[in-house]
Structure formats: C-alpha cells, structure tokens
Copies of this chain bind each other. A is one copy, B any other.
Amino acid sequence: MKPEQHLSVCVLLIISVTWTANGGNILVWYTEGSHWINMKPVLETLVGRGHQVKVLIPSTSMFMNSSEPSRFGYEPFNVSVSLEAIEALMEEFLHFSVYEMDHMSYLQIYIRFIDLMKVNMQNSLKMLDGVLKSETIMKKLKEGKYDLLLADPVYPGSDLLAEILGIPLVYSLRFSIAHNWERYCGQLPAPPSFVPGAMSKLTDKMDFSERVWNFLYYALQDTVQHHIFWKGLDKYYSEVKGTPTSACETMGRADIWLMRTYWDFDFPRPFLPNFKFVGGIHCRPAKPLPEDMEEFVQSSGDAGIVVFTLGSFIKNITTEKGNMVASALAQIPQKVLWRYSGEKPATLGSNTRIYNWIPQNDLLGHPKTRAFITHGGTNGIYEAIYHGVPMVGIPLFGDQPENMVHMKTKGAALSVDLNFMKTEDLRDALRDVINEKSYKENAMWLSSIFHDRPMSPRDEAVFWIEFTMRNKGAKHLRVQAHELTWYQYHSLDVLAFLLAIALFLILLFIKTCSFCFRRCCGRKGKTKRKGGVND
C-alpha cells in the first residue's frame, strides 16, 4: 500500500468523525471535455462520503451525459444555442489549432483566435441565460438549499449564481490564460520575472529576452482578456444584478481555489492560503486489463509496451499522418496500443494494435509500460506522472504544447510536432525516451513528488470542500489585497506621497539655502560696499 493510500483511508476516517450522518448538499457547475473527466471522480468521492451532489447540465452538453448511470443527480437546463452549433465551433477551433495555425502569421493567429473566442463567449453567455434567466431553474436552485457551489470557472457565471443563492463557492481550475483570473480576481501574486504566464510556453528559468517576452505576454493577454471576456461579462453581470458589477470582483468571492497542478508538474511560484494545489485529483491505481489486452501486453516480453492516445477530442488524424505515425511505431521493438478511430493505416506494423478506446490509466500503471505517446492534456500527463511513465508528446492545441514544455523541462519527456514531424522524428523520440535512463528516472522522481505529500490531491480537495461547507466559507484564508485598488496594492499612492514629501523637502532646502545665501552674500556685499564707502 502506497503512503497516499494509507492517508486516504485515514483522512476519510477523520473527516467522517466531523461530518454528521446526513452530509452536505452540493451544487456543481456545468463543464465540458477533460474538465468534466477531471471533476467526476471528485463528485463520486463526495457522494461516497454521504453528500448529495447535483450537477447543472446544459442541453448542449457534448461530454456530460445525464442518462449515464451515476451516483450523483443532474439538473438539466435548456440553452438557446443548438448542440450542432457548439460542436461546429469546437471543430472549427480544433482545425484552426491543429492544422491552420502553423501556416499563419502571429497577427493572423491572434485575429482568428479572438474571433473564435468571441463566438465562444456568446455561446457561454447563452448557456448562462439558461440558468440565471430561467425562472424555473432559479426557483429550483433556491429551493434546493445548497450548502456550496463547486465550479470549474472555464464556463463563466458560477460566482454570480453563488452570490445570488448566498452560498460559498469553491473553484476547481487548471489555469486561465496568463493566470489572468487567478491574478486579478484571486489576487495571486505572479512576478513576470520567474512566473511564466500560462500558455506562454516559457519555463521559470528565463533569460533577459524571455523575461521581456513574458512581461509583454502578460500585458498582451490581459488586454485581450479585457476585451473578449471581462467587458462582456461585466455588462452581463450588471444587467442581471441591476447595478454596475465587476465580474472579476464577483469571481474573487470564491472561498477556495483548487488548482489542478502541483510541484511535480508545475514550476514553484508564490501562492495564497486559499489556493490549494491538487494536481492529479483524478489519479488512481491501475486496475487489471481486459483479458485479451493483457495477453497482447504480456506478448511484448522484455521490450514492453507503448501506450498511445491523442485525447478525448481528437479521435482521427489525416490518412497521411496516420501512415507516417504507424510506420514510426512499426520500427520500435515494443508492442503499441493505439487509441484511434480512423481508417486503419496501410503502414501499420504487426507490433501495433488499434483500439476505439483503451483503459489509459490501467495501461499506464502496467509494469510492462515503457512510454506514453500523448497529446499532452493535463489529465493524461498526470496519469503518466502518477505511474512514473516517460512521455513522447504530440501536442495539438490549448495548453498541450505548454504542458509538454513542463515535462521536457523536468526531463521526463520529448516532443514532436504533428505538422512538421517525419517518421524518424517520432521513432527516434520514442527510442530515446525508452532507452535513455534519465527519462524513466525523472518520471519516477516526478511520481515520487506526486505520492510523497502529506495528503492525496483528491483527499485534499474533498477536505477543503467539506471545510468550506462546515464553516460556511473560508474567510480567514482570504487576503486583504481583495479590498485594495491596483495602485494601492502596489503602494503607488504611498510612493507618490513619499516622493511629493521628498520633493517638497528638497525644494524647501534649496529655497532656504538660496535665501540664506542671498541674505549672507547680500550682507557681505553691503558690508563690502559699506567698507568701500568707509574706505
């Protein structure tokens, strides 16, 4: 039994002592894709601990499925956008990120990105309408007497709902671009000299030019966020509340920010008492594989296996890429298990098997696993860290390229570019990661950091969710910075005041000196003249 498993049992035991038989009543904000995959195990744990959990689910959800059997309930609501429109936008975004971006200039990328984000924002607000502007839903939520709202803020508005319902709010967040939300709304300090902006692809070790770029990156992203996110949201919040409202300040009401990273994956940086780092919240030990899969894995002998998936969004790649990838895989001695729904590549080697779905975590935890080919999503990377498996990244979009930068910097991965790679690039990267000892050693070191902490991430998340319910908030962890303006925060008013005093004193000194000098010289002059007269 690993230390964190021991602790899990203990912590559950302890917290059980403080919780009465009928647990809390938790409302969960809607989310999507890997965010939802990440949220589900926490909800399962909360239900297992006697809490009632109800999840808001929009009619346009791609990943949440209210008909799937689960131990928590759903609260469905209608959205005025069609599921097709949402899916089309997602497809468009993926196509732009994976294929178009490499052939565009920075300016073109930015203009296209902002356009897509604007449409996404409009859709998000229409989803929000479905909750806040539906009398039926709001009545139900008010009557639901919830003790807490748990939200991944990637879809905005949860903070406004928490305020309207008058209940505490716990966030579960991977990151916002350039840590904009954490910095401005959560008051998280992030000096640009050693905290790389999220999505900048920089590390914490920056030379002068990188520090300049990081500084500009923060400024640029803050401007973009202001225009495509905050302006619209401020207007929306103000409309709903009927009074001028800052969405960022409302977001700052959150009692706890559960950040889905830890120092195995992230670079160390300053944080606040109400920020808890629970990276790998969804990780769990491997379960046995299906019989036929186990047989295939065992047939790999000492060479072992490679696990390959490009995540929940990308199921297929072009035929050309598929052939290239397959031919690279055919050249390694390992057996490969590839999650792929496209046409079977002509170059597929006998060592490679294609699956519509694979039990990724169970495969990564298998002793025969030598490497993981991944798109670089945080969930997959964390499972690899958990089990100590080195990685080859084929990052596609979003935070994936940056995630792979983290893993490369920590010496546990190599990366190849889907658009520019050749067969030998993938093959060589795989060979290096499998044969050079340092990758496995570093992956094991990250795994050791993951496991060797006082409490498992899921237990820590559950602890703080329950703490917030028990105490109806966590105000004692909230810094006073929330009450300051930006110039007060940076002591600019104090500096201006002290500078004014210093200038005044200098001026006074000069005036006094010149007055004395004039008096003195004047007298001397007079004396001299007097003397002269006397002479």
Chain A positions within 8 Å of B, measured between CB atoms, are 1, 3, 6-7, 9-11, 13-15, 17-18, 188-189, 191-194, 204-206, 208, 211-212, 215-216, 263-264, 267-274, 448-449, 452, 454-455, 459-460, 463, 467, 470-471, 476-481, 483-484, 488-491, 493-495, 497-498
Contacts and interface: CB of A to CB of B under 8 A. Distances in A.
Given A215-B495, A452-B471, 6 more contacts: A208-B494, A212-B497, A215-B494, A263-B273, A271-B271, A271-B272
Given A264-B476, A271-B271, A479-B270, A194 B484 contact: yes
Contact of A491 (B205, B215, B454): B215
A268 B452 CA distance: 26
Given A15-B3, A269-B479, A193 B467 contact: no
A13 B15 contact: no
A208 B273 contact: no
A485 to B, nearest CB: 10
Contact of A14 (B10, B17, B216): B10
A148 B44 CA distance: 41
A280 B88 CA distance: 56
A147 to B, nearest CB: 16
A476 B263 CA distance: 7
Given A189-B189, A191-B481, A268 B264 contact: no
Given A454-B454, A494-B215, A479 B189 contact: no
A211 B3 contact: no
A477 B205 CA distance: 14
A477 to B, nearest CB: 5
Contact of A13 (B6, B216, B272, B467): B6
A9 to B, nearest CB: 8
A455 to B, nearest CB: 5
A208 B263 CA distance: 37
Given A189-B270, A454-B463, A194 B479 contact: yes
A463 B454 CA distance: 7
Contact of A268 (B211, B274, B449): B274
A491 B471 CA distance: 40
14 contacts: A7-B11, A192-B494, A193-B488, A193-B489, A193-B490, A205-B483, A211-B493, A215-B491, A268-B477, A268-B479, A270-B270, A270-B272, A452-B467, A454-B454
A477 B273 contact: no
Contact of A211 (B13, B191, B488): B488
B211 A494 contact: yes
B10 A13 contact: yes
A489 B191 contact: yes
A237 to B, nearest CB: 25
A106 to B, nearest CB: 18
Nearest to A478: B268
A302 B35 CA distance: 56
Copies of this protein in the assembly total 2
A163 to B, nearest CB: 21
Contact of A17 (B1, B272, B478): B1
A268 B272 contact: yes
Contact of A480 (B205, B471, B481): B205
A460 B460 CA distance: 14
B490 A470 contact: no
Contact of A194 (B204, B205, B481): B481
A6 B9 CA distance: 11
A282 B449 CA distance: 28
Contacts of A193: 481, 484, 488-491, 494
A480 B14 contact: no
A268 B17 CA distance: 28
Given A455-B454, A494-B215, A477 B10 contact: no
A191 B488 CA distance: 10
Contacts of A455: 454-455
Contact of A494 (B212, B272, B488): B212
Contacts of A18: 3, 452
Contacts of A15: 3
Nearest to A218: B491
Contacts of A212: 494, 497-498
A235 to B, nearest CB: 30
Contacts of A17: 1, 3, 6
Contacts of A1: 17
Contacts of A467: 452
A268 B476 contact: yes
A190 B215 CA distance: 21
A215 B498 contact: yes
Contacts of A494: 192-193, 208, 211-212, 215
A480 B194 contact: yes
